[in-house]
Amino acid sequence: MTTPPPRSGTPYSFLFTPHREAVLRCGRYTLRLNRPLIMGVVNVTPDSFSDGGHYADCQRAIERARALVDEGADILDIGGESTRPGAQPVALEEERRRVLPVLDGLASGSVPVSVDTRTPQLMLEALAAGASMINDINALEADDALRIVAASEAAVCLMHKQGEPQTMQDHPAYDDVVEEVSAYLRDRAAAAIAAGIARERIVIDPGFGFGKTLEHNLELLRSLDRIAAAGLPVLAGLSRKGMLGRLTGREVSERIYASVAAALIAAQKGAAIVRVHDVAATRDALRIWGAVAAR
Ligand code: HH2
């Protein structure tokens, strides 16, 4: 596919994307997708792989989220359950206790708040409490999830994974990882549209690290433009992940440079949204690219 000619004044004019003029509708917010957006992650958990325990307290999580907005986050993503490889599922009651008070403190802010959950009942409660997006690593496959999101105005991120977090890294296997992930995301987007979720509310995500070897992850990153060719905005979540540790030999707390590099590559490959922990560093890198790209 060829890149359309640049328009004067359009930032990121060599961005490979079929949705340059597009918007993402997230509840009362409409986000323009004319540059890569930054989703800032706040995990309200004791055990998330990179920030577990740091923001388990509600007030600290809210302060962290506000700091990420000051650093340039376009969307916040609040999670109450770690889905890192080997993680144990969290009971609804506990996930609710972690997420809803933080959402309450942020929902009236200047940026949309996404809730990272695969639990339909929590989706329902989060939407009622002002969540503008549901980020579901299960791609709304659980009973009722499609119906619950369709009944709202919120956006949704449909993510691919192979297997379940507890065992997904045991033996990931694909014949053609890019084709299989793309086909799955196309199917889930079609199911969401059939359930009444407008196209402009849907984001797709190949799910880096979710039932994928290092080689699978690299192949997906190399070919992100093929996934973006579905015409839906693509979200890429590479921040601080194990694949970056494998490639650099660095611990989680030392993966900021690798994370920024990965986010930049994802954006150049057509990601509409990058999901990151280090917002300021990512924003600076994307700004440099944007300045070079704008003509
Ligand atoms: N990655 C994680 C969690 N949620 N959601 C989407 N859409 N895409 C991702 O790549 C993704 C995600 C894992 O990262 P993190 O939230 O930092 O860790 P944990 O699951 O341990 O809380």
Question: What is the spatial distance between Cα 251 and Cα 245, in angstroms, rounded to a whole number?
Answer: 6
Write down the H helix ranges in the chain.
Answer: 58-71, 92-106, 120-128, 145-150, 177-194, 214-222, 224-228, 242-248, 256-268, 279-293
- Regarding the beta carbon of 207 and ligand 1, being less than 6 Å apart is answered yes
Q: What is the pLDDT of residue 19?
A: 52
| Residue-level pLDDT at 208 | 98
Q: What percent of the chain has pLDDT over 90?
A: 82
Q: What's the chain's average pLDDT?
A: 92
Which three-class secondary structure state does DSSP give residue 215? helix
Q: Identify the burial level of 143 via C-beta atoms within 10 angstroms of its C-beta, where 0-12 means exposed, 13-18 middle and 19 or more buried.
A: exposed
- For ligand 1, atom 1, which residue shows the shortest CA distance? 237
* CB of 43 closer than 6 angstroms to any ligand 1 atom: yes
Q: State the Cα–Cα distance between residues 34 and 25, nearest whole angstrom.
A: 14
- The mean pLDDT value for 103-113 works out to 97
Whether 202 has a pLDDT exceeding 50, the answer reads yes
Of the residues 39, 51, 84, which should be mutated to test ligand 1's pocket, given the most ligand atoms within 8 Å of the CB?
84
Residue nearest to atom 5 of ligand 1 (CA): 137
Q: Answer yes or no: 241 catalytic.
A: yes
Is the minimum distance from the CB of 157 to ligand 1 under 6 angstroms?
Answer: yes
User: What would the two tokens of residue 65 be?
Assistant: 């989220």
The segment with the largest mean pLDDT, out of 52-66, 241-255, 281-295, is 241-255
CB–CB of 197/127 below 8 Å? no
Residue 15 in this model has a pLDDT that exceeds 50: no
> pTM of this prediction?
0.93
Active-site position among 212, 241, 269, 283:
241
Q: Which of 11-25, 54-68, 210-224, 280-294 has the weakest average pLDDT? A: 11-25
pLDDT over 50 (residue 12):
no
Residue 227 has pLDDT above 50, yes or no: yes
The rounded distance, in Å, linking the Cα atoms of 132 and 76 is: 10
In the prediction, which pLDDT does 87 show?
Answer: 86
pLDDT in tens, 73-99: 999 999 999 998 888 899 999 999 999
The band of 6, judged by pLDDT with boundaries at 50, 70 and 90, is: very low
Using the atom order of ligand 1, give the atom closest to the CA of residue 157: 7
Is the C-beta atom of 39 inside 6 A of ligand 1?
Answer: no
| Interval between CA 292 and ligand 1 midpoint (Å) | 30
- C-beta of 55 in contact with ligand 1 (< 6 A): no
Whether 161 sits among the annotated catalytic residues: the reply is: no
For 260-273, the pLDDT digits (tens) are 999 999 999 999 99
pLDDT digits (tens, 9 = 90+) for 154-187: 999 999 999 888 888 889 999 999 999 999 999 9
Cα 7 to ligand 1 centroid, rounded to whole Å: 35
Q: In what order do the strands lie in the sheet with 113-116?
A: 202-205, 155-159, 133-136, 113-116, 75-79, 37-43, 273-276, 235-236
| Protein residue whose Cα sits closest to atom 18 of ligand 1 | 48
| pLDDT tens column, 127-150 | 999 999 999 999 999 999 999 999
**Does the CB atom of residue 82 touch ligand 1 within 6 A?**
yes
The fraction of the chain above a pLDDT of 70, given in percent, is: 93
Among 54, 83, 252, 274, name the best residue to mutate to test ligand 1's pocket (greatest count of ligand atoms within 8 A of Cβ): 83
Q: Is 29 in the pocket of ligand 1 (CB under 6 A)?
A: no
The predicted pLDDT at position 85 comes to 86
Using pLDDT thresholds of 50, 70 and 90, give the confidence band for residue 20: low
